[in-house]
Structure 1
Amino acid sequence: MSEKKIALEIKGLKVNYGAIQALKGIDLKVYEGDVVAILGANGAGKTTTLKKISGIIDGTEGSIQFYGREIIGEEPEKIAKMGISMSPEGRAVFRDLTVEENLKAGAFTQKDKKKIAETFERVYRYFPVLRERKNQVASTLSGGEQQMLAIGRALMSHPKVLLLDEPSLGLAPLIVQDIMKIVKEIKNEGTTVIIVEQNAAQTLKIADYGYVIELGNISTHGKAEVLANDPKLVEAYLGKH
């Protein structure tokens, strides 16, 4: 069997917000077709990592390579066109637009109408409720539906790598299970996924590999099933057994 390609590699990434060092030189590898979890407490640097991959923030040292191409310094739109798409924390759907208009907005990097139509079908297959609500204004959706819409919108650009920032935040446990199951389906259909989460237990069930960030450093990393059984991690993030 041929070796998996590295889709994304971060080396020595440092990010400062003024005098505060949010990331202190992290290294991270994401292989094509995997789900990689980035875990940690609030303020650890998880969201900063995703924002830097997307090109949303400046002020950095280090390297981020996407299929061997350096992307630090590239504009967010260019990074999106290369094949990296993000579903942000807090969903950030366009509240006054309909479900369908939100999804169309996500396809801004795509020119091929046939491909856009196919991706609509794919998103509606993952999230049938969005098809039912396609003419509804996004602000009238439940929190879970808005989260599904945010993920669907990120998928509309047909990304090679999908970044998910806290997709379970504020959602009921059953909805979280549904969303995690769909993330697994997205991965099984060939999209690489990087998922930032505080809900470590659910995330490690669907992830292949995980990294734990503490105060801007990676404190531990390994295969998801190994991390899920790590006593220190269990105590810190998974609740004491």
Structure 2
Amino acid sequence: MAQIALNIENLEVSYGNIKALKGINIVVPEGKIIALLGANGAGKTTTLKAISGVVKINVGNIKFFNRDITNKDAEKITSLGVIQSPEGRQVFPDLTVEENLKIGAFTVKNKNDIDKNFKRVYKYFPRLAERKKQIAGTLSGGEQQMLAIARALMASPKILLLDEPSLGLAPLIVQDIFEIVKEINEEGTTVLIIEQNALQTLKIADYAYVLEVGEINIEGRADELIKDKKLVEAYLGGH
């Protein structure tokens, strides 16, 4: 039996009087890809921020490999191996590709591990290796997204949190990114992916949760959910 990497129980988060999350439960087994799907404003990014310690949790708890990380300091959570690749890429535009990657490795103390991580990310993203001296702000949108994921991988994540990796990208680039996410997972990294692009995500995920206005409406094995045409059209805007 796989260990549970991340266990979210009865999670509630509010912004002032507005309840963004209304008691959600999510389980992420080690070594799997778990998807959190839903439209804009459903509460997906809030969920990731709660896991990462960026927003305050009102009710419920989050355990990472059985260790309570509820409302812990964001820096502490990162040092445990919970690493996020944020929505909108957020690369450092004035630094080179290589400098961006080095920043990603700031929590990794062992130089050999950093070298290994460089080799690993350049294997996944050969285009970044070709452009390592290039200023990140001059990369295409797809390359910046690759850089954001690669920078997160430089921190040796035990779980990789991906926030909308397909946002604003051409379909072919999206396909590439998802294939690489699958490969990263097959080599042992647990992934929690937040997406609006349901169809592509369900193709690579093991299990998925559908979030609607702060509540989980549907959950199930990804290979089952993808067959449910009504579900895909009603909740996930795909055909």
Identity of aligned residues (%): 64
Counterpart position of 1:159: 157
5+ long unaligned stretches in structure 2: none
The one of 135, 138, 158 aligned to 1:137: 135
Whether 1:175 aligns to 2:173 is yes
Q: Which letter does structure 2 place at the counterpart of 1:132?
A: E
TM score, norm. by length of structure 2: 0.98
2:52 and 2:231 map into 1 onto residues whose CA distance is: 28
The one of 233, 236, 239 aligned to 1:235: 233
Residues 39-58 of structure 1: matches in 2 within 5 Å?
A: 39-58=37-56
What is the CA distance between 1:213 and its match in structure 2? 0.2
Q: Which runs of 4+ in 1 moved over 2 A?
A: none
Give the paired residue count: 238
Counterpart position of 2:68: 70
CA contact (8 A) 1:201 1:238 kept: no
1:157 and 1:210 map into 2 onto residues whose CA distance is: 26
2:228 and 2:37 map into 1 onto residues whose CA distance is: 14
What is the CA distance between 1:80 and its match in structure 2? 0.7
What is the CA distance between 1:217 and its match in structure 2? 0.2
5+ long unaligned stretches in structure 1: none
Q: CA offsets per residue over residues 29-83 of structure 1, 9 Å max, x none?
A: 0000000010000000000001111111114211000000110121111111101
SS in 1 for 2:121: helix
Residues 11-90 of structure 1: matches in 2 within 5 Å?
A: 11-90=9-88
TM score, norm. by length of structure 1: 0.97
The one of 71, 91, 94 aligned to 2:92: 94
Q: Which moved more, 1:87-96 or 1:223-232?
A: 223-232
1:203 and 1:102 map into 2 onto residues whose CA distance is: 27
1:161 and 1:239 map into 2 onto residues whose CA distance is: 28
What is the CA distance between 1:239 and its match in structure 2? 2.9
Residues 201-212 of structure 1: matches in 2 within 5 Å?
A: 201-212=199-210
